[in-house]
């Protein structure tokens, strides 16, 4: 009976607020992102700010202010013992990871497909996320390339190597007589190695990576694709532009547009993202609930809280 009472108390005063806070934040943030950034395009903001930085900061404001007060009825709250800290941490992390993954999902799920008879029609139609191309010519022989490396990981343990190829897109092969191009097909390759290795080892790995992926690019049939995705304001876009600047034949254009090819059904573009979102959310909630079962209710604080609530309710009824 005591266990059932404790479980009911936790569900009513802690679990329900946790779910309400999490789902409300994910829904509200995602709606504002879709409305302000995706739909109305009111601001030009780097994708990592909207998709990662803000979702990694804002949840902690809710968790450490509003939700933290819900844990007052638990033992160990005053000393902020480990189970309380873990409840706060898991609540914040569940919100963060689910929100981050969901932003990529809604961007693709709400993206509109535009059918172009040729690439020149791009400038006479409203910009959308996805495109199909009728008549086109990829000048693969005159591509641009850019190499980059980046140290990642919490302790700088990973070295990410990347190659960015950009291929000019024209309406027909005769257009290659021009000396400028503003639409490009982007192809990216990446590989991660251990950054703790020697500089000699990392340099050899990088050179091997360049040779392998350059060879793979050389034999790739870029005409095999189902649809194109327009690259947004991302770090990848910046590095694709650097590859465009390295092109030896065509003059760089500040308004250059990058497209990434996808050889899959357009309707399947978001299947894996949805599965990941569900797994992350369910797993986060399960870990949080398991942690909650390890903490006992502070009966005295719960009693005082209930007494205060009844007193406040009675006071409000008298005033009205």
Contact between residue 29 and residue 61 where contact means Cβ atoms under 8 Å apart: no
Flag whether pLDDT at 308 surpasses 70: no
pLDDT value of position 135: 93
Which carries the bigger pLDDT value, residue 240 or residue 311? 240
Banded model confidence at residue 311, pLDDT cuts 50, 70, 90? low
Instruction: List CB contacts of 298: < 8 A, sequence separation 6 or more.
Output: 72, 73, 74, 75, 77
Q: Which residue, among 152, 151, 179, 300, has the nearest Cα to 248 in the 3D structure?
A: 179
Reported as type and span, the H/E element at residue 313 is helix 299-319
Reported as type and span, the H/E element at residue 257 is strand 257-262
Q: Which residue, among 143, 128, 126, has the nearest Cα to 231 in the 3D structure?
A: 128
pLDDT value of position 2: 42
What's this model's pTM, rounded to 2 decimal places?
Answer: 0.83
Using DSSP's 3-state secondary structure scheme, residue 277 falls into: helix
Q: What is the pLDDT of residues 35-84, one digit of tens each?
A: 999 888 888 889 999 999 999 999 999 999 999 988 988 887 776 667 89
Cα 177 to the chain's mean position, in Å? Answer: 40
Our CA angle for 284, 38, 112, nearest 5°, is: 100
Mean pLDDT in the chain? Answer: 90
Reported as type and span, the H/E element at residue 193 is strand 183-194
Banded model confidence at residue 309, pLDDT cuts 50, 70, 90? low
């Amino acid at each position: 009976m005591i266990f059932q009472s404790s479980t009911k108390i936790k569900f009513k005063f802690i679990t329900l607020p946790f779910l309400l806070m999490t789902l409300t934040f994910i829904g509200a943030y995602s709606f504002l992102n879709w409305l302000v950034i995706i739909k109305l395009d009111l601001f030009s903001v780097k994708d990592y700010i909207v998709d990662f930085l803000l979702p990694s900061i804002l949840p902690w404001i809710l968790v450490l202010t509003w939700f933290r007060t819900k844990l007052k009825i638990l033992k160990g709250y005053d000393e902020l013992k480990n189970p309380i800290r873990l409840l706060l941490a898991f609540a914040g992390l569940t919100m963060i990871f689910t929100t981050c993954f969901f932003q990529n999902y809604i961007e693709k799920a709400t993206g509109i497909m535009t059918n172009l008879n040729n690439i020149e029609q791009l400038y006479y139609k409203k910009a959308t996320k996805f495109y199909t191309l009728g008549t086109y010519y990829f000048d693969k022989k005159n591509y641009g390339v850019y190499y980059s490396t980046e140290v990642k990981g919490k302790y700088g343990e990973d070295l990410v190597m990347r190659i960015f190829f950009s291929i000019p897109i024209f309406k027909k092969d005769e257009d290659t007589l021009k000396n400028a191009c503003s639409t490009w097909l982007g192809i990216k390759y990446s590989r991660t190695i251990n950054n703790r290795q020697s500089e000699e080892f990392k340099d050899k790995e990088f050179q091997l990576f360049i040779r392998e992926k350059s060879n793979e690019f050389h034999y790739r049939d870029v005409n095999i694709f189902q649809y194109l995705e327009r690259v947004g304001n991302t770090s990848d876009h910046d590095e694709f532009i650097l590859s465009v600047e390295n092109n030896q034949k065509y003059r760089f254009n500040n308004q250059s547009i990058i497209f990434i090819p996808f050889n899959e059904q357009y309707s399947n573009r978001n299947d894996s993202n949805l599965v990941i979102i569900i797994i992350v959310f369910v797993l986060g909630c399960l870990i949080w609930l398991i942690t909650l079962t390890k903490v006992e209710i502070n009966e005295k604080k719960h009693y005082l809280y209930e007494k205060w609530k009844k007193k406040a309710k009675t006071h409000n009824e008298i005033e009205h």
